Structure formats: structure tokens, C-alpha cells
Amino acid sequence: MTYILDLLTQLADGLAKQFGPDCEIVIHDLKRHDLEHSIVHINNGHVTNRREGDGPSKVILDTLRRDPAALKDHLGCLTRTGNGKILKSSTFYIRSKEGDAVDYLLSINYDITGLITVDRSIKALIDTEPQTEGKQQPEPVVRNVNDLLDMLIEQSVDMIGKPAALMNKEEKVTAIQFLNDAGAFLITKSGDKVSKYFGISKFTLYSYIDINNRKSEDKG
């Protein structure tokens, strides 16, 4: 392990010991270019039912697609596990020495499900940063890239408001634009699954992506 990874692992072990079994600490290694197995260290993985060698969350895809200089740590956000646990989560971007890339992500996920039901005296502990619009909804926590892709597809369908089979061309283009912007096509063989889900050919899928890319260029 590198010096930085050794240091992050030491920090993760200490935080997990400090805050107990309800606090999951996860380290993602982005230098390995192994998207499907980005978790290289995890404490209290029972919180989200993940383990070392599992895949990324949505924030990983967002990190890979964006300018490292524009990324800011996500602090005190709500996330939700598949079995309904509500977590208070923070993600820290650990940059390279040169500052031109993100090498690691350190994530802290504290299970606040039980705390939500207790007295207001601990409200300050479980408060989260509000979203700019509307009520904050917990972001799902996924265990692998297949679950992540399924989640993104589900979000694209929810955004349109109708099943894929009932979407017209414009609606499918919009849904696929959402997936492209979310980094879904960074996932291996995602094109096969998305084209099958939306009932289009791979050629048509790529043409829809190209339409979206041209729109982005025109806006630029």
C-alpha cells in the first residue's frame, strides 16, 4: 500500500473504533482503474452489507466524470441502504500530490436510524445539509456496479414518469441523457443492458448519446 493509503487505513480504523459498530468507514481506490472492485478497505461493513472488493457508489461515477478541481467534499448527506437504514454520510476527496486527480475517496456512513426516533436533544447530531430545492431524499447505497446501473436506470424512468415501453423517442433521448450525465456508460457492458431495457439497438443508443453530446456542445 502507498503511504497515503496506509494513512487513510489508520484513520479509518481509528474512526471506527471511536464511533463504534454503527459507523462504517470505506476507502475507494480510484488509481487502480478497477471500477467493479473499488473498495480497498472497509470497517463495519455490516452497516451497508458491503465488503472489501465490492464496487462503487454513485459518487464514484460523478468523481470520474468531473474536473477534480471542481469537486467538493460531501458532508452530512442522507443515504439509504437497501433494507431501509438511514445513514448520515460524508465523503472526502483525497487528491494526488499534484492536485490534478482524485486518488482515493474516504466515506463515513453513520447509521442514524435509531437516533431519528429519540429526543430532540440529539437533533444537532443528526441534522443534515438541506438540498437547494425541496426535501432531501436519501441517496441509495449499492453493493456493486450492477445494482448501481439498475438504480440509475430506475431514476431515469422516474424522471420521465412512464415505463420505457411507453416512452417516445424524445423521452428516451432524455432518459439516456440522464444516464450519460450520471456516468452510467462508464460501467462495463452498460450499453447492452440499457439498449435492451429501452427496447433500442446499440446503434440507436449511441446515436442518442451523440445527440446529447451535440446539444451539450451547442450550449457550450
**CA 12, CA 212: separation in Å to the nearest integer?**
40
Domain ranges of the chain: 3-141, 147-219
pLDDT digit string, tens, across residues 164-218 = 888 899 999 999 999 999 889 988 889 999 999 999 999 999 898 887 676 665 5
* pLDDT for the residue numbered 218: 57
Site of grid cell 443528526: 126
C-alpha cell at 178: 440522464
Its pTM stands at: 0.66
What CATH number labels 3-141?
Answer: 3.30.450.20
Q: In what side-by-side order are the strands of the sheet with 102-111?
A: 39-43, 23-29, 102-111, 86-95, 74-80, 139-140
* pLDDT for the residue numbered 32: 75
pLDDT digit string, tens, across residues 44-86 = 999 999 999 998 888 888 888 888 888 899 899 998 888 888 8
Q: Rounded mean pLDDT of 109-120?
A: 79
Q: What angle do CA 29, 32, 38 make, to 5 degrees?
A: 45
The answer to whether 78 and 89 have CB atoms below 8 angstroms apart is: yes
- For the cut 90, the answer to whether the pLDDT of residue 5 exceeds it is yes
| SS3 assignment for the chain | CCHHHHHHHHHHHHHHHHHCCCEEEEEEECCCCCHHHCEEEEECHHHCCCCCCCCCCHHHHHHHHCCHHHCCCEEEEEEECCCCCEEEEEEEEEECCCCCCEEEEEEEEEECCCHHHCCHHHHHHHCCCCCCCCCCCCEECCCCHHHHHHHHHHHHHHHHCCCHHHCCHHHHHHHHHHHHHCCHHHCCCHHHHHHHHCCCCHHHHHHHHHHHHHHHHHHC
